[in-house]
Amino acid sequence: MKLYIVVIILIIAVLSSGWYAYLHKKTRISLRYLYKDNLVNISLCCVTFCLLSKYIPLWLAALISFAAVLGYFALLFGIRFYRIPFLRGRHLQLTENDVLSPADGNVIYIKRIESGQVPCAVKNAREATLHEVMQTEMMEGPCWMIGINMTPFDVHRNAAPLAGEIVLNHHVNGEFVSLKDENALGRNERNTIVINHDGALVGVVQTASRLVRRIDTYKKEGDTVRRGEWFGMIRFGSQVDVIIPASWQVSVELGQQIYCKETLIAKIQ
């Protein structure tokens, strides 16, 4: 009997660890979740098995516990996805020249966009032309464009990188296709806001991904936002692009994991 219980616990551990390892490979979630959420998931499943085995046959308790691997994962995923990060240093002592990251994720590119050039969001070597930013004067000078890839475990609420007035809030309805599709970035739902900060224009582009339901926007054109104020959320989102003047000093590097309202992505020169 004891050996049977040990085998069940080992199977639960293998199933849960294999699932988290698969997510790390496919979505680039941090390995720390293999040691944090995964251990919580295994513990919850083992407790479920021990409790059920007192009232129902062992084989049935085992089957329910195996299924609970995905059930508890969904619960933990939902908590992480919809959480609001009040803690962990996300209220910093800032200067007027600090530009905050609007999203959690890892930096996938930092590229220079020349004056008059239409910026393009890029993922997996596929491009989406962001014609909407040309409705403003943003591209009258050269800019930096920083791409931030959001994994499923990143916070999906987005915050203003700087304070100012929203001069553009442009929504593009999507066809809800996978970003693996050749033209996905151009067809998926996205929302672009441009903030006027003391005469300088800063753009934030939210691009949704597969399984998306919608991009929520909490602000409209003409509203003012504070630096670090939540302005929207991508439900099952994938990418956020930030466009800033080329004269500003970029403070992040390729591949760096950054955090919304915590990481300084640039300095105003």
pLDDT, tens digit only, all 269 positions of the chain:
677 778 888 888 888 888 878 777 766 666 666 777 888 888 888 888 888 888 888 788 888 888 888 888 878 777 766 655 544 444 556 778 899 999 988 999 999 999 988 888 877 667 778 888 888 888 889 999 999 988 777 777 899 999 999 999 998 886 655 545 545 444 678 899 999 999 999 999 988 865 555 788 889 999 999 998 889 888 766 789 999 999 999 999 998 989 888 899 999 98
How much is the pLDDT for 88?
45
Whether residue 209 contacts residue 105, with contact meaning beta carbons closer than 8 Å, is answered with no
Distances (CA, A) of 228 to 91, 92, 235: 9, 10, 19
Strand order in the sheet with 157-159: 157-159, 230-234, 215-217
Tell which residue, 194, 232, 249, has the closest CA to residue 265: 249
Query: What pLDDT was estimated at residue 111?
Result: 93
| Cβ count within 10 A of residue 141 | 15
Which backbone phi and psi does 79 adopt, to 5 degrees?
Answer: -65, -45
Annotated catalytic residue within 209, 238, 247, 251: 238
Return the pLDDT at 81.
Answer: 61
Q: Which two tokens stand for residue 201?
A: 């224009």
Q: Alpha-carbon distance 209 to 174, whole Å? A: 9
User: Among this protein's residues, is 238 annotated catalytic?
Assistant: yes
For residue 159, give every residue at least 6 positions away whose Cβ sits within 8 Å of its Cβ, in sequence order, or none: 100, 102, 103, 228, 229, 230, 231, 260, 261
At residue 225, the pLDDT reads 93
As a whole number of Å, the CA-based R_g of the chain is 22
Tokens at 118, concatenated: 């239409």
What's the pLDDT score for residue 36? 77
Query: Which pTM was predicted?
Result: 0.72
Q: What is the pLDDT of residue 82?
A: 62
The per-residue pLDDT for 31 is 65
Q: How far is it, in rounded angstroms, from Cα 249 to Cα 268?
A: 7
Provide the pLDDT for residue 47: 87
- Nearest-CA neighbor of 133 among 150, 148, 115, 149? 115
The pLDDT value given to residue 148: 93
